[in-house]
Structure 1
Amino acid sequence: MATLQDVAIGLDLGGTKILAALISRDGETIREIESETSKQSKEDVSMSILNTINRLLENDKVDRNRIKGIGIASAGIIDSKKNIIKFANNLGLENFPIGSLLEQHYHLPVKLCNDANAAAIAEWIWGAGRGKENLIYITVSTGIGAGIISNGSLVTGIHDSAGEFGHTSIMHQGVLCKCGNRGCLERYASGTAIVNTASQRLLAGEKSALQKLLNEGLEITNQQIAIAAEEGDVFSINLLKEVGGFLGTGVNNLIHLFNTEVIVFGGGVMNMSPFILPSIKEAVRGYGIFHMAKDVAIEMTTLGKKGGVMGASGLFFTNEATEEELALSHVK
Structure 2
Amino acid sequence: MDEYAIGLDLGGTKILAGLVNGEGQIISQKQLPTSSDDGEKAVIGRVMAAIESVMSGKNINHRRVRGVGIASAGVIDSTKNEVVFASNLGWRNVPIGKLIQEKFNFPARLMNDANASAVAEWMWGAGKGTQNMIYVTVSTGVGAGIICDGRLLSGNDGSAGEFGHISIDWNGPICRCGNRGCLENYTSGIAIENVARTRLASADSSFSGSLLEGCADLTAKQIGVAAMQGDQFSIDILKQAGFYLGIGATSLIHLFNPEVIVFGGGVMSTAPLILQEVEKSVRERCIPGLASQVRIELNQLGTESGVMGAAGLLFSEWEHERKLQIL
TM bracket, shorter-chain basis: over 0.9
- Equivalent in the alignment of 2:201: 203
Structure 2 residue 30 is matched with structure 1 residue 33: yes
| Residue aligning to 1:103 | 101
Q: 1: CA distance between counterparts of 2:29 and 2:18?
A: 4
After TM superposition, the score normalised by the length of structure 2 is 0.93
* Map of 2:180 onto structure 1: 182
Whether the aligned pair in 1 keeps the contact of 2:225 and 2:271 (CA below 8 Å) is no
Counterpart of 2:325?
none
Distance in 2, matches of 1:123 and 1:89, equals 26
| CA 245–53 in structure 1, closer or farther in 2 if over 3 Å, else same | same
Structure 1: 5+ residue stretches without partners: 325-332
Q: Which residue does the alignment assign to 1:329?
A: none
8 Å contact 1:10–1:72 — kept in the other structure? yes
CA, structure 1 residues 322+260, in 2 after alignment: closer, same or farther (shift >3 Å)?
farther
Match of 2:246 in 1: 248
Instruction: Compare 199-208 and 110-119 and name the one that shifted more.
Output: 199-208
Deviation at 1:274, TM superposition (A): 2.8
Corresponding residue for residue 213 of structure 1: 214
**Deviations 1:135-159 (Å, cap 9, x if unpaired)?**
1000000000000111122112223
| Partner of residue 6 from structure 2, selected from 9, 33, 52 | 9
Within a 5 Å distance, the mapping from 1:230-241 to structure 2 comes to 230-241=228-239
Cα distance, 1:30 vs. partner?
Answer: 0.5
1:175 Cα offset (Å): 1.8
- Once the two structures are aligned, what percentage of the paired residues are identical? 49
Distance 1:125 1:323 in 2: 17
Change (3 A) 1:60 1:250: closer
> 1:143-292 counterparts in 2 under 5 A?
143-204=141-202, 205=204, 206-214=207-215, 218-292=216-290
Q: Is the 8 A contact 1:18 1:34 kept in 2?
A: yes
Paired residue total: 318
Q: Which amino acid aligns with 2:164?
A: G
| Counterpart mapping for 1:132-151 below 5 A | 132-151=130-149
C-alpha distance in structure 2 between counterparts of 1:323 and 1:270, whole Å: 35
State the distance in 2 between where 1:90 and 1:164 align.
17
- The 1:323–1:275 alpha-carbon spacing in structure 2 relative to 1, beyond 3 Å, is farther
- Do the aligned residues in 1 keep the contact of 2:28 with 2:57 (CA within 8 Å)? no
- For the residue of structure 1 that corresponds to 2:23, the secondary structure is coil
Q: After the TM superposition, which of the residue ranges 92-101 and 119-128 deviates more from structure 2?
A: 92-101
- Pairwise CA distance, 1:323: 10
Determine if contact 1:38/1:48 at 8 Å carries over to the other structure.
no
Cα gap change, 1:99 to 1:272, in 2 (>3 Å):
closer
Cross-structure match for 1:85: 83
2: CA distance, partners of 1:44 / 1:152: 38
Match among 51, 55, 76 for residue 49 of structure 2: 51
Q: Is the Cα–Cα contact under 8 Å of residues 127 and 303 in structure 1 kept in the other structure?
A: yes
Tell me the distance in 1 between the aligned counterparts of 2:90 and 2:200. Answer: 35
AA of the residue aligned to 2:115: N
Name the CA distance, whole Å, in 1 between partners of 2:58 and 2:265: 35
Distance 2:177 2:8 in 1: 28
**Higher alpha-carbon deviation: 265-274 or 19-28:** 265-274
The TM-score normalised by the length of structure 1 is: 0.91
Q: CA RMSD in A?
A: 1.7
SS at match of 2:235: helix
Greater mean deviation of Cα atoms: 245-254 or 92-101? 92-101
**1:134–1:262: 8 Å Cα contact kept in structure 2?**
yes
Structure 2: distance between partners of 1:282 and 1:141? 21
User: CA 1:322/1:230 → structure 2, altered by over 3 Å: closer, same or farther?
Assistant: farther
Question: What's the CA shift for 1:208?
Answer: 4.0
Distance 1:271 1:160 in 2: 26
Distance 1:273 1:228, change over 3 A: closer
Tell me the distance in 2 between the aligned counterparts of 1:59 and 1:200.
51
Q: Which runs of 5+ in 2 are unaligned?
A: 323-327
SS at match of 2:309: helix
Q: Structure 2: which amino acid aligns with 1:101?
A: L
